[in-house]
Structure 1
């Protein structure tokens, strides 16, 4: 068993609280009504713009201070005179005044107030800050943004919603993963660019848990982020710049994603129940050849190659297969309809001192593929919040548990659906068995005999305890625990193979991966606040103790007496262990924050952290990181006090450093692996890594400046930010000569990666009447990534991968110069001028596959009980064309219709070479270079109607005592693009593209 320690670091021993005295829930009571002449009772309900009830709204009678507070469900009862005026006010919403005028029922809808910028509180991790006074770069979405989208992964709800956050969906298979980068790729290592996820103050490991050995239908491994139920999330904040992330030290080098779950609200106990049902389909298909076009291609290829007849194995053209048959294989394998079902229930309420929330959710989803495959998960979430009557003692308990089951085919058949000849045989024989057509093909349905299953059980728990020791001094401790248990397996039964080969169950196999991950964290803190005249001071000091343990066992079983025993490893004739590992990661730190505000105009924020990580050797385990952020709210200056156009103005800037230890564990140690070979009854060991105690932290230096302005009472609000991040001291494997016995040595490489860009946001209130509101949000990111330094690059093994001054995500390719109209052969630039085009010397052109810009446009329209939200996502990028996935025209696989534009005789101008079955060496070689050239990379930009959400709330009283809302939601509805493949976001035909989803739902509350 491997082990790592942190030496020389003194530990704090936090005080454990033995018990918590919870107050019994007591409903809110209205203040005594104001007595006046001719008074009468008035009742009503207060809601927000989406018709959600607002509890805790302050209601004042004629400005005299007497009034009441709306209950949890938004209802209120008050006594006032006919000549009085009711004033409704709530943080973050516009105040509304309504004359009584003899009314007995007054319902009111409050509109969100973008001018109340200082009252919007943003979660910055270890502290909260008002939107107006924050010095860092923080993007935010709330439950209202998330609940409008029929998604099962929080990352899907974030796509296109935030500046600087690039999220890509990897596959349309249920339970599939997403890739995410916050302000670009900082590390040369792909695995070193993940952000830090924090759920209710608990760091949550998002490292993939699969083995990678199963080769399953879900590409890559399984991301634990699928375990987070979007319906339980209250808000998601993304911390991006140095000021916002420095307090997280090395863990925040690639950004921080803070997920805050929902909490109860004081008021009477309330039940909310929701049900949604929907369907999903592939958004678009590739325009492929029909049977006559395909056969024309194949016959011409044989003619070009000099064949006078067709070979015996050319079943598609020699008459073995029916040359009149046509099957649209895309429709067969991807044309189905998946079904979505969501059921949820929430119980919440409590008193002013103790509030609670309990929720449960069940999600079930089938696939578009033929067969009985599905993905489902259930989630339980609970939150308890309590404070003492004197407001000195606070405790918040939160827990969530999720169980997932994913049952999918062992292989994604998308590629078969696109490449299978259109006249391929029928799938079934008349008796219903798989048709092997006399062993002339591999029936693609046989792939479904292989099954992939994954089970995940995930627990996240947290507790935050605070006590105000003195008026300005607060002690606080947060504790967290996570437990993730994951198991996936892939079976390969003998029924995968043609029965004519007589393959028995003794050749069946199964791969099983079992991964368990547990972590705990304790963070004692002390905070102090004091005002000295016009100077407000806030200080925070804390420490972090974290430990994570992961065990992984990957096994294989081969040979079974029966396929019915395939999932029982004990029944295998032969078993083997690919991996049996236990890893312990320890992390300790101290952190501090000092915030100074002068007259609310000039704000200075200082943060620092000293980190210790067990991933580095003695003497290299600790590093210091910090940042400074400053803000000038110039709209508070006297020279703008009378300006009616500029309602808010702020300049902010930040500079700081953070580190990165995302390199895996024990990389600095000598490590050994069991060979599996037996010598004299003893299993031997072989060295797998060289000892190198000298490598240390990657360093990321971040710089940002920003302008935030509001016009016309903030009806127009605009922000612009410029940033530059430089990551150096790169942790990579430096290649070693084969004579050393090792492929590489883990070490620091003196290379520097830079990310810089502009981020813009625009919020406008286009129309705001009593019953009609129209708002717009636009975000745009212009990002650039480049390698600015790499000493010795030309002589290293990375010389064919990177170019100084170019982005990391480039492809070095041949430069295509066109087709020779006389020979019909593709031509390429000979960079070194030696008269030959070779892979080693002439792949000098490169193309950038990073997005040039991306963003989103959201419009929200409310009219009385109706609300309509429309969201567009857009990306400007280059990527591999759809043709890249299909191979050489003339071979025995279907091709896009565009391949009919081919060269046939001297003088022809065409996009494709002459067809060949593979005999013509010049054409084959030229096509191989063409595949590795810039001709295969084209515009893959797109504008996607990402989401439409329409809701209608039944007027009060239609169903007595019950609030009811009906919703219609759509995701990935339309894609506008010139891209010629299945999908410009997920370009590879080996993966199912993202689906178009339409759902209808109903929510009731009582």
Structure 2
């Protein structure tokens, strides 16, 4: 803390000295005075370069856009330039008074100003790979932040974790780099590190299917721009935080001279885009007959009819509504924006929803000439009611082991012969077909009642506040202090009544979990920008940052309630009370030094060099420092003389970068020996949870990138291409320990590579008065390969060992048997490999005899015959969007898709395995019989002899989705209210998906489908008003 106070004092002394020096220097009167303004908005342009033509004299405009400089003679021609604007030259007479220079925005793509780490750059001078989410996407995607990214940026892959309202997504930039460390990109919002690891909103309480995504606290309507930093030249400035890419979000600010009020209302409905095909009551009865478990005569089967549709009973028509209100404006010395948001989404499964209240204040003010301060405060409160999961909160056995992962999958398994309601309208809780966790002693759970009476609730409150102070010490030299803090508090409440599937065994069970996550950071940077002799542009950045995070949590669970009326609000009422679990509080600190050099010669030859040194408390002494350099060069070939006459070619740039970044996103005390509390038979014991590792080191990623930017017809057509190679070394992995030791141990074990190619195309098809049409398309290919696992040949993962880490294969590879057809009548079964059932019989499954204990086929099917069956990594990802504006009408369409990735359809695997008292997939209607031999579905009695995965259930998950289509109309302003703008619009999301995948949705996080919350098809309409 003493170091922090000293640092702040030094900062204040530097600012005071600089202010005094600057004021003294400005006491000399100068000959030419003026102001630089944006021609379209009349906003002052800060930092514009102003110089006398054919003279070395020059200056930059201040925070009001004003400048002063002297001239040796008159009339004088002054040149005014600014990033992203066309250079202007004007003649000034002696004693002509103050001049006003209006600059027009340069619409050339290469002159676009983009936000990078700790600053901005013209795209023309970039050496790294930086992509921007288009304005049309920002304007038309209004539901979640994740949706803005999907299909919008080449090399960025977004996969929904769940269709549950408020749930998050898995976001990857150029593939996954790590096994156990975090693979999520770094998010920076208005210069502040945004902590959005999904674990930050998980309390450790079981029983809840989904948790609120931290990104759900971001209001899409507040976002001004999104930049995605993909290669090392762009991300190395963030050092150990940049290995997985960086997403920079800039929120809207008020504009000087304009006071605006904006309101938007959206309402809509949503339905499940797909339902699974299950057996009806009579078909289920016939299956039971084939299994030999029960005997239904034909008259009974006919009387059963279709029975109950449990899947349909738990689905509903959901609804959405959103209200947005903002006030913004400013004057010559200040700008402000105040916004508020309310969102409510009723899910497509009964009693699931998400509700958010959020607000934001952005304010900045010029306190003194060349000295500006700003503050941002964001608050959000979100409540999510989700599915309850059947992973037990009491560490008892649960229906999860039977393939029932949540309330939805439970509804798929209930026999359709059971009524949902009794004749008096009450829920039916009886099941004469008793089996396992579907019923106990004739008392059965009811999925509809489960969803109605159970509680799986998460409440998240977040507060983020940041402050900056910026002072221009001298021409081109700017000091900036940026400080901020965030507080994130999550409460999770769980309750499963004694009539529920999970509560049956425990006679009701409830729990409460609380987690608090706090972070603060401070950054001090010095930025120097200058142009020398017109042809040499130099930008220098140096800085120091410190950030600290801390979190703690507690969970409490009770069961066997005599009275369940208070649900989770009265845990002491439980006859079995489990002692609270309080994991050790965790805390981490990251100290960093950073620097960057940007140099441009003649606007053609560009160099960027960065360096960052990070000291992380997450590693043992002697391993805490990591060093991350990078270098990048680019060449604007179209600026060369030999291409000056190529009028069609408006841009041609080559880029090359190389460097190193790191990853420290692991637990805070992984290098230490730690213990955790475990529950055994109602008592608490402390066991080793982590064995510690004094030699634990950084996970580092070396990257190389080559790119090309091409613009033709004044950038009406722009193509950006990149090819890259990344090698991550010293992979962090929770390695298995010896049989005599409990817990795990994090080790550095091997390497993984990602190599690929990306293309992005933007085209302005039509650009005339009252009619514009822009289209964009992206295509990316990434190849992920494990190249080294250290002392391990392979590592099996998952409950059924359905995943494998193996050299030469990708992360997320599936492991199992190769399906080889069905044994047919007349086939010589003595030639077939044996199974755990013995010699295969007609109607049984056949599998390939690949290997044995000696490495050769041995005539029997066992674990040695398992091979890699595919992986969850797509071969290609792609997207397309079109934005058309004609007079007052606007039409936006976006599509996204992937090709070549696989999904392990765990849910289908269980639905196609006939079991006593469980419903099943309609695929079993095509099961093998002597009269139906041409099928891949085995007979009913001997369906599957192994717990191993097999190739039937590793499915192609390629898809093409019409993600968004929006049609709007903006009414022309009327004379009485010229400043009023009114727009009405209608949109559809997830209108259709082309795929061969047999599950609910081909977007499945990690590629394992346990029965995810289905994706909704949404139709909405809205109105926006501004004045």
Question: TM-score if structure 1 supplies the norm length?
Answer: 0.83
Distance in structure 2 (CA, Å) of the matches to 1:474 and 1:91: 17
Contact 1:195 1:252 survives alignment (8 Å)? yes
In structure 2, what is the equivalent of residue 164 of structure 1?
155
Contact 1:899 1:912 survives alignment (8 Å)? yes
- Whether 1:888 aligns to 2:910 is no
Contact 2:753 2:786 survives alignment (8 Å)? yes
User: What's the secondary structure of 1:515's corresponding residue?
Assistant: strand
Deviation, structure 1 residue 556? 1.4
Contact 2:793 2:806 survives alignment (8 Å)? no
Contact 1:434 1:445 survives alignment (8 Å)? no
CA distances 1:327-363 after superposition (whole Å, capped 9, x unpaired): 33332212x1111111111111111321111011111
Distance in structure 1 (CA, Å) of the matches to 2:85 and 2:11: 41
Contact 2:226 2:248 survives alignment (8 Å)? yes
RMSD, aligned α-carbons: 3.4
Distance in structure 2 (CA, Å) of the matches to 1:217 and 1:743: 25
Contact 1:720 1:761 survives alignment (8 Å)? yes
Distance in structure 2 (CA, Å) of the matches to 1:6 and 1:389: 29
In structure 2, what is the equivalent of residue 992 of structure 1?
1013
Q: How does 1:205-604 map to 2 (within 5 A)?
A: 205-207=195-197, 208-211=199-202, 214-219=205-210, 221-302=211-292, 310=295, 323-334=304-315, 336-371=316-351, 373-387=352-366, 390=369, 392-411=370-389, 412-436=406-430, 439=442, 441-448=444-451, 449-496=453-500, 507-533=507-533, 534-560=535-561, 562-566=563-567, 567-573=569-575, 574-604=577-607
Contact 1:813 1:847 survives alignment (8 Å)? no
Contact 2:419 2:428 survives alignment (8 Å)? no
Deviation, structure 1 residue 829? 1.4
CA distances 1:262-305 after superposition (whole Å, capped 9, x unpaired): 11011232211111111111112223334444433333333xxx
Distance in structure 2 (CA, Å) of the matches to 1:649 and 1:467: 37
In structure 2, what is the equivalent of residue 37 of structure 1?
none
Deviation, structure 1 residue 94? 11
924 and 561 in structure 1: CA distance in 2 versus 1, 3 angstrom threshold: closer
User: What's the secondary structure of 2:930's corresponding residue?
Assistant: coil
Give 2:654's match in structure 1, choosing from 632, 651, 663: 651
CA distances 1:620-670 after superposition (whole Å, capped 9, x unpaired): 111111100111010101111000221110000110001111121111112
In structure 2, what is the equivalent of residue 124 of structure 1?
116
User: What's the secondary structure of 1:635's corresponding residue?
Assistant: helix
Deviation, structure 1 residue 562? 2.6
Distance in structure 1 (CA, Å) of the matches to 2:867 and 2:647: 58
User: What's the secondary structure of 2:146's corresponding residue?
Assistant: helix
Q: How does 1:664-675 map to 2 (within 5 A)?
A: 664-673=667-676
Distance in structure 1 (CA, Å) of the matches to 2:635 and 2:557: 62
Q: How does 1:6-17 map to 2 (within 5 A)?
A: 15=11
Give 1:965's match in structure 2, choosing from 949, 961, 983: 983
CA distances 1:906-930 after superposition (whole Å, capped 9, x unpaired): 89221211122xxx4xx431xx47x
903 and 675 in structure 1: CA distance in 2 versus 1, 3 angstrom threshold: closer
Q: How does 1:684-695 map to 2 (within 5 A)?
A: 686-695=687-696
Contact 1:529 1:539 survives alignment (8 Å)? yes
- Whether 1:899 aligns to 2:924 is yes
Distance in structure 1 (CA, Å) of the matches to 2:795 and 2:411: 41
Contact 1:824 1:906 survives alignment (8 Å)? no
User: What's the secondary structure of 1:616's corresponding residue?
Assistant: coil
Q: How does 1:949-964 map to 2 (within 5 A)?
A: 949-957=966-974, 960-961=977-978, 962-964=980-982
- Whether 1:941 aligns to 2:958 is yes
CA distances 1:371-419 after superposition (whole Å, capped 9, x unpaired): 4x432111111111223574x1122211110011123453543213433
In structure 1, what is the equivalent of residue 816 of structure 2?
813
Deviation, structure 1 residue 240? 1.2
Contact 1:143 1:231 survives alignment (8 Å)? no
Deviation, structure 1 residue 765? 1.1
In structure 1, what is the equivalent of residue 724 of structure 2?
723
Distance in structure 1 (CA, Å) of the matches to 2:566 and 2:739: 44
Contact 1:297 1:890 survives alignment (8 Å)? no
737 and 890 in structure 1: CA distance in 2 versus 1, 3 angstrom threshold: closer
Gaps of 5+ in 2: 17-37, 46-80, 88-103, 390-405, 433-441, 826-841
Deviation, structure 1 residue 606? 0.3
Deviation, structure 1 residue 528? 1.4
Distance in structure 2 (CA, Å) of the matches to 1:795 and 1:898: 35
Distance in structure 2 (CA, Å) of the matches to 1:382 and 1:19: 26
Contact 2:771 2:885 survives alignment (8 Å)? yes
Distance in structure 1 (CA, Å) of the matches to 2:366 and 2:970: 34
Question: TM-score if structure 2 supplies the norm length?
Answer: 0.81
Deviation, structure 1 residue 143? 5.9
Contact 1:14 1:477 survives alignment (8 Å)? no
CA distances 1:102-149 after superposition (whole Å, capped 9, x unpaired): xxxxxxxxxx99952244211112011112221111122256423412
Contact 2:702 2:728 survives alignment (8 Å)? yes
Gaps of 5+ in 1: 21-45, 48-52, 59-88, 96-111
Deviation, structure 1 residue 988? 2.8
Contact 1:282 1:993 survives alignment (8 Å)? yes
Distance in structure 1 (CA, Å) of the matches to 2:950 and 2:685: 46
Contact 1:150 1:970 survives alignment (8 Å)? no
404 and 17 in structure 1: CA distance in 2 versus 1, 3 angstrom threshold: farther
Distance in structure 2 (CA, Å) of the matches to 1:406 and 1:126: 35
